[in-house]
Structures are given as C-alpha cells and as structure tokens.
Structure 1
C-alpha cells in the first residue's frame, strides 16, 4: 500500500478504536481458553482503576489488542456492546453486530511480569505495563490503590479507585508498594522489556504524606536502575507549598502531572470536592501548574481532563491555555466506571470524543509538541493523541512495512 492508503486505513482503525473505547467490547470469556493469559499473553491486573464497564472477579481478561495497522486498543469489557471479539478459525476477530471488521492480536506479556521483588511480591502486582510506538513502553505504578478522600466523603465523582480496591485487591494480591519494590520492578522492566518511561500515581494519603514518599521512590529507582534520569512522571495533587515542586525536579523526576480534571469552575467545585478541600481549590491548582511549567520546562508538565463531563468548549479552553504555557493535557474519554458515584451515567457519543482528540492534536501541533513529548507525560502510550502523533510521524508499525517495501523496490 502507498503511504496515503496506509494513513486512510489507520484513520479508519482509529475511528473504530475510539468507538470501542466508548462502547466497550463484548466477548464470551470462554474464548480466552485458547489464549495463554498470564503466560504468553498479558492479563489485566487491577492496580488502580477498573476501566472495564463491568467487574469480573471470577475470570481474567486481556489488557488490550492491536489492529492490523498496529494501533493498540485497551480492552474495556462490556457484555452489552455491539462490538464483540470472537474466536473464529484459530484467530480472534473484532466484529460489530455480527459483521467481521478485522483480526486482532493480543498484547504479549512483558518478561518482567514473570519475576518478583526481593520480598517475593510479583512485579505484575507492582508495575503495570503498556506498550507504545517506536519500541517504547511505559510502566505505571499506583503506590496506593486507595484514596483517603473516601473517609471524608470527598471522592472525585468519576473516580472508582476505592471500589476497585474493594473488588480486586484481595483476589489479585494488590496492596501498598514500598520504594524498594518499585525500584526493583522498574529496573527489571527497563532491562528486560526496553521500557522507557515510568508513571507514579496513587490516591491521596492522610496528611499528604505522599510528598516525601515520592522522593524516596525516585531515589530507589535511581539506585536500582543506575539512571539519574529514569524518565519518570510524578502524578501529584497540587501542594499548598509550591516549593515542593522544586523538590520533585531535584529528586530526578523528568516530568510532573497535576490533573485539574475540570476547567469550568462550577463543574470543578461540584465534581472534585476533595481537591477543593485538600489542594487550595481550582485557582491554586492552576497556579501550581503554572509554577511547575516554569520549573520543569516546556512539554514536561501535564494536566488531565476527564473529557465528557463538562462542555467541550470548556475543556478545549483549558487545553489551549495550558498548551500556550508549555503544558500538555490528557483528554481521554470519561468512562462512568463501576463503583464511581457517576456509575450508570452516559459519556458523550463516540463522535464527540473523536472530535475532541482531533482538536486537541491540532492545538498541540500548533504549540510545537511531538509524540515523544506526549509519551513522556502520559500514564500509558495508548491515548488517541498518541495515535494521531504516531500517524503524523509515521512510527505506526504499518509504515514500517511500507518503508521496508520501498527499500526492497530500490534494490
């Protein structure tokens, strides 16, 4: 295929990926007996949030799969979806209302998942893995799979971190991670699987004790990997004392994330009661992002938005403002997660979210950002923005096949 044909194919696959992200994908769990989950292929481990549309305590599911062109699609199980993965003639096929769309290939299990920390904790229960383009992957670590805002009745209304813990932590053996465990897991992932980015996150801890903990983790990762710059992102709540941000930079984190979540002031107050109470409110949070942008530099700070709760115009205004000061934004689609206060609500239709991704991508290009910038600040390299950048920069696997064909033709 020509490059234009490849681009056309990839944009069509991107459209389907977006729809599956919104609607989820059905599957008879029995078909995965043909897949060596937990062996050759990667199984879901619920380290932080349940992103499937239904819980599934009694069986495992895959983490994700790839389209023929090489776009990765996270597996969001929903038994009610018109999209379904079936096992047909020895291969897995994505279908819509019974019509076959294309075969899919599931994520391979990373090598480090088969190893354990020095205290015996499996690395798969410490650091989750997601693959990206151009040979780079990310490990995302939730140091804590619970949030203390629950105790005060101040949970973010879209969040299900505490519900996920209640459902899966005992079944899957997931708990608090200490710095040594994290350092050992990251070192193994970098060494064995070519991982190039670490994302550290978790819920609020009483008295905001997570601040010093993050600094201890950075030191442990540096010690275990031998890297002063391990390309780490610290995902934090806005500190009341902004000088703490300098400490994260000095500790060795390359990037910082402060997720504002909502741009509209009224939505912010209604949806994020704990962030208002614990982090000085919306204006202080924005001030913290502005300060972090000066400390870390262009493309080294991000803020997440839960796209689909507030009006699109409001979210785009926030994305534009942050991009203008060198800050990138995540705008992944809001999923009314199981166990969240907004469970049972409806996110906007797929077209709404696809338009959001295209508009944000144009904003980021206008301010000079690249795939690598977005890779370095995201918790996983599988957002639609990653795909759009990767198509632009021709680093999606399909382009590799085309370039190889061109080399052969020139011989």
Structure 2
C-alpha cells in the first residue's frame, strides 16, 4: 500500500476518532474483567479532571485505545453514545449502531506507574502518562494541585470541573497536592523507563498566586533528579499581573510556557471566565501576557488553549490566527461538557464542527511554519487531532514504515 493510500485510510480513522472524542463511547464496564487494568494496561487516575461524560466511582476504566492505523483515542464513557466498545471473546471491537468498525488495543501501563516516591507516594497518583510515538516520545502531565482556589470566591470557570473531580475521586484514589521532590522523582523515572520526553506542569489557582516560587522549586528539583538542564517542561500558569514574572519561568529552565485564554470573544469572556477577569486582569491583560511571553520564549515555545465549541467558530479561529502570527500555538480540543461543571447538561457542537476546526487550525499552523515537533513540545499530551494531522501529513506514524494493509469496516 502506497503512502497516499495509507493517508486516506488514516484520515478516515481520524474522522472516527473525532466522533468518538465528541460523542463518547458506550461500554458495559464488566467487559474490562478480561483486561488487566492496573497491571498490563493503564487505568484511569483522576489527577485533575473527570473527562468521561459521567462519573464512575469504584469502577475501573481504561485511559484510551489504539486504532489499527496507530491513532490513539482517549476513553470517554457515555452510555448514550451510538459508538460501543464490545468484547467478542478474543478482542475488543468498536462498533457503531451494532456494526463493527475496527478492533482496538489499549494503552499499556507505563513502567514507572508501578513505583513509588521516596516518601511512599505511588507515582501514578503524581504524574499522568500519555503514550506518544517512538520518534518524539511520550508525555507526563502533573497537576500539582487537584483543586482551584477560585471556588472559594465563587469564580470557577464555567466549563471546569476540577473541584468536582476532587470531591468525587481524590480521597478514594489518594490524590493530593504534590511537592517538588515527589514530582521530580516521578518525572525522572518516567524519562528513564518509558520514553517520556516532555513534562507538563499545571493545576488550579493557588491562593495568593504563589505559582512562580513553586514552579521554580519544581524546575530545580527536576533538573537535579534527571540531570537535564533542559528537561522540555511546559509551565501552565495564570497570566501574572507583573509581566516580568514571565522571565523567571524561562530562567528557571522551562522550555515552553502556557497561558490558556480559553475564549477569544470579548463578550463571552467575562461570563465564562469570571475568575480570570477578577484575578488576572481580564482578557486584554491575558493577551498582553501571551504577547510578552512570545518575545521571551520565542516562536513555537508558547501556547494558549481554547475551549473549542463554547463560542462561535470564527471567534476562536480569529484568536488562533492572531496568536500564530506571533509565533504562539493554540490548543483547540473539543469542549467536553464535564460532569460537575457549571455547564453540565449543555452540548458541545457536533463532531463535524470539531473536525473542521482541527483542519483549519492545522492549516493556520502549517502556513505559519509550525511542525509536529513544535506542537509536541507545548501540548499536555501528544494525542490531539492536530498532532494526528501533522503526523499523517509528515508521514511520522509507524504504519508508513511497515506499510501493512489495514482496513476500516
């Protein structure tokens, strides 16, 4: 099979991945009795957000599964979905309206998940693992805090469920605040044992905004534990009122910086993000902070995130285009209406809306000279649709080397 034919197969898989990512997937959890979750295969640990469409306390779920062409789909449970994951006695198969689409395999549990920090804290409660490819590697994302201080002020972002997730899962799963030493030990083990080449550090707002001191402590601890001055870390922060603070993250050793604007439209912004207005100077200041960071960190070393689907598409694309012109990348993953958020019960746009968004954003990034490598270095995981489009376009997936015949039913 030639590369162009492989690409067409992969684009079809990508469309299915997008549909499942938006609509979720139905499953009878009992079928996972045949899957060694927490052993051979990676189990969900709710370090920051519940991304399934309903909570499932006490029920083990996988983190994601792999298509025949090698695309990874994050697992999002939704019993209302037309997509279903079934077990036929030999393998797990994705179906739609009872018709088989393709068999899948599951995320393997990383080696470092079986280890503990020097204080006895299991690494799987410190750093979340996202499987990447053999070329660029995988990612760990650490939520130093699984709560956000905006709740105490009644200023939570309306789409966010970080505090609800903590209330549901934290005690049961042993999730709490992480100190720099715990993070450094987990990251070091992930780098050594599991091909991890990128670290994302995030979390809720800290009372009194003590982020910068904490992040510097983490950077120093990771450098010491890994022996790497450049550990390819992304610091995800709130826009500081004093923009000179941004220089400190660069000096501390973070390769990239993220400040998630979330919404571009100036009328939507204060309604959806009351805390980011009250605590971080509002939309205009966030944009100024991102502009400043682009000058400090350089092209492709800053990102901002948008909750794609919460505002009209032209508004989000305007923001993506503007940031790209500054050398800033944007995440535009589909808005998942998280359980426990203020907007629970609302609907994200239809799947085709989101697929079109991904292709349009990829075109913007490619036109501005960005590559898969740039997107890998700024994203919290290497599994966004735009990663896949880059990987297909640049022929990075293993399937291009082995060129097997794979089919989509």
Q: Verify same fold: TM over 0.5.
A: yes
Determine whether 1:4 maps to 2:20.
no
Within 2, Cα distance between the matches of 1:158 and 1:305?
Answer: 11
Within 2, Cα distance between the matches of 1:386 and 1:211?
Answer: 29
User: What does 1:4-153 correspond to in 2, within 5 Å?
Assistant: 4-135=4-135, 136-153=137-154
Counterpart in the other structure of 1:205: 206
Counterpart in the other structure of 1:191: 192
Counterpart in the other structure of 2:278: 277
Q: Cα deviations across residues 248-296 of structure 1 (Å, max 9, x unaligned)?
A: 0000000000000000001111100000000001000000000000000
> What SS does the aligned partner of 1:141 have?
strand
User: What does 1:251-400 correspond to in 2, within 5 Å?
Assistant: 251-400=252-401
Within 1, Cα distance between the matches of 2:129 and 2:217?
Answer: 22
Would you say the 8 A contact 1:145–1:162 is kept in 2? yes
TM-score by length of 2: 0.98
Within 1, Cα distance between the matches of 2:108 and 2:279?
Answer: 40
Tell me the CA shift for residue 16 of structure 1: 0.3
Determine whether 1:161 maps to 2:162.
yes
> What SS does the aligned partner of 2:355 have?
helix
Indicate how the Cα distance of structure 1 residues 300 and 228 shifts in structure 2: closer, same or farther if over 3 A, else same: same
> What SS does the aligned partner of 1:132 have?
strand
TM-score by length of 1: 0.97
Q: Cα deviations across residues 148-178 of structure 1 (Å, max 9, x unaligned)?
A: 0000000000000000000000110000000
Structure 2 residue runs without a partner (length 5+): none
Within 1, Cα distance between the matches of 2:239 and 2:27?
Answer: 40
Q: Cα deviations across residues 354-411 of structure 1 (Å, max 9, x unaligned)?
A: 000000000000000000100000000110000000001111121121299xxxxxxx
Structure 1 residue runs without a partner (length 5+): 405-411
> What SS does the aligned partner of 1:198 have?
strand
Within 2, Cα distance between the matches of 1:296 and 1:246?
Answer: 8
Would you say the 8 A contact 1:258–1:289 is kept in 2? yes
Within 2, Cα distance between the matches of 1:20 and 1:259?
Answer: 25
Would you say the 8 A contact 1:134–1:395 is kept in 2? no
- RMSD (CA atoms): 1.0
> What SS does the aligned partner of 1:358 have?
helix
> What SS does the aligned partner of 2:268 have?
helix
Tell me the CA shift for residue 323 of structure 1: 0.2
Within 2, Cα distance between the matches of 1:96 and 1:283?
Answer: 44
Tell me the CA shift for residue 320 of structure 1: 0.2
Tell me the CA shift for residue 89 of structure 1: 3.1
> What SS does the aligned partner of 2:347 have?
coil
> What SS does the aligned partner of 2:329 have?
strand
Q: Cα deviations across residues 121-171 of structure 1 (Å, max 9, x unaligned)?
A: 000000000011244100000000000000000000000000000000011
Q: Cα deviations across residues 183-229 of structure 1 (Å, max 9, x unaligned)?
A: 00000000000100000000001100122101100000001000000
> What SS does the aligned partner of 1:266 have?
coil
Q: Cα deviations across residues 282-341 of structure 1 (Å, max 9, x unaligned)?
A: 000000000000000000000000000110000000000000000000000001100000
Would you say the 8 A contact 1:133–1:390 is kept in 2? no
Q: Cα deviations across residues 48-105 of structure 1 (Å, max 9, x unaligned)?
A: 0000000000211000000000000000010111101000131000000100000000
> What SS does the aligned partner of 1:38 have?
coil
